[in-house]
Chain A
Amino acid sequence: MEYYGGIDAGSTYIKVAIVDSNGGIQGCKVVSTGIDCRSTAKKVFGELCDEIGLSQSNVPAVISTGYGRKLIDIANENVTEIKAHAAGSLRTAPDGKRIGTIIDIGGQDSKVIIIDKDGETRNFAMNDKCAAGTGRFLEVLSRVLEVTVNDLGALSLQAKAPCRINSLCAVFAESEVISLLARGEDRANIIAGIHRSLAKRISGMAKRAGLESDVLLTGGGALNPGLVTAFEDELMMDIYVAENPQFNGAIGAALLGRNSNGGAAG
Chain B
Amino acid sequence: MDQLEKRKARFVRGLVCSAETVLAELTESPDLPEGMGYFINIMKDVFVHQDKSLISTRLQRTDNQKLIGTYCIMVPEELIYAAGAIPVRLCGGSYEASSIGDELVPRDTCPVVKASVGFTSLGLISIYQICDAVIVPTTCDAKRKMGEELSKFTEVWMLEVPHIKDSEGARRQWLEHIKALKKDLEKLTGKKIRRKALQSSIRMIAGAQYEARRLYEIRKSAATVIMGREAMLALNAYSYDTALEWTKAMAGLNDELESRRDNGRVVADSNAPRVLIAGCPPIFPNWKIPSLIEEMGAVIVADESCMGSRYLYDPAGITEKSMRNMMAGIAARYLMPCVCPSFAPNEDRLYRLLQMVDEFKISGIIYHVLKGCVIYDFELIRVEKIMKEKNIPVLRIETDYSPEDIEQLRTRIEAFVEMLGTKMKKG
Contacts and interface: CB of A to CB of B under 8 A. Distances in A.
Contacts of B322: none
A115 to B, nearest CB: 10
Interface in B386-427: 393, 398, 405, 407-408, 411-412, 414-416, 418-419, 422-423, 426
B322 to A, nearest CB: 53
A23 B411 CA distance: 27
A124 interface: yes
Interface string A108-144: 0100000000101111101011000000000000000
Contacts of B414: 80
Interface residues of A, number: 16
B409 to A, nearest CB: 10
A121 B408 contact: no
B408 A82 contact: no
Main secondary structure of the interface of B (DSSP, over half): helix
A126 B422 contact: no
A82 B418 contact: yes
Given A123-B393, A128-B398, A83 B415 contact: yes
Interface residues of B, number: 15
B411 A126 contact: yes
B411 A80 contact: yes
A83 B393 contact: no
B412 A121 contact: no
A132 B363 CA distance: 33
Contacts of B415: 80-83, 121, 124
A120 B422 CA distance: 8
A79 interface: yes
A128 B399 CA distance: 10
A126 B408 contact: yes
A55 to B, nearest CB: 32
B393 A120 contact: no
B201 to A, nearest CB: 45
Contacts of A67: 407, 411
Nearest to A123: B393
A80 B423 CA distance: 15
A128 B422 CA distance: 25
Interface string A172-207: 000000000000000000000000000000000000
A121 B419 contact: yes
Nearest to B426: A120
Contacts of B423: 120
A129 B405 CA distance: 8
Max chain A C-beta neighbours (<10 A), residue from B393, B405, B418, B419: B419
B383 to A, nearest CB: 14
A2 B422 CA distance: 26
Contacts of B426: 118, 120
A175 B95 CA distance: 32
Nearest to A120: B422
A109 B409 CA distance: 12
A129 B407 CA distance: 10
Interface string A56-96: 00000000000100000000000111110000000000000
Given A82-B418, A121-B422, 15 more contacts: A67-B407, A80-B411, A80-B414, A80-B415, A81-B415, A83-B419, A109-B408, A120-B422, A120-B423, A121-B415, A121-B419, A122-B393, A122-B419, A123-B393, A126-B408
30 contacts: A67-B411, A79-B418, A80-B411, A80-B414, A80-B415, A80-B418, A81-B411, A81-B415, A82-B415, A82-B418, A83-B415, A83-B418, A83-B419, A83-B422, A118-B426, A120-B419, A120-B422, A120-B423, A120-B426, A121-B415, A121-B418, A121-B419, A122-B393, A123-B393, A124-B415, A124-B416, A124-B419, A126-B412, A128-B408, A129-B405
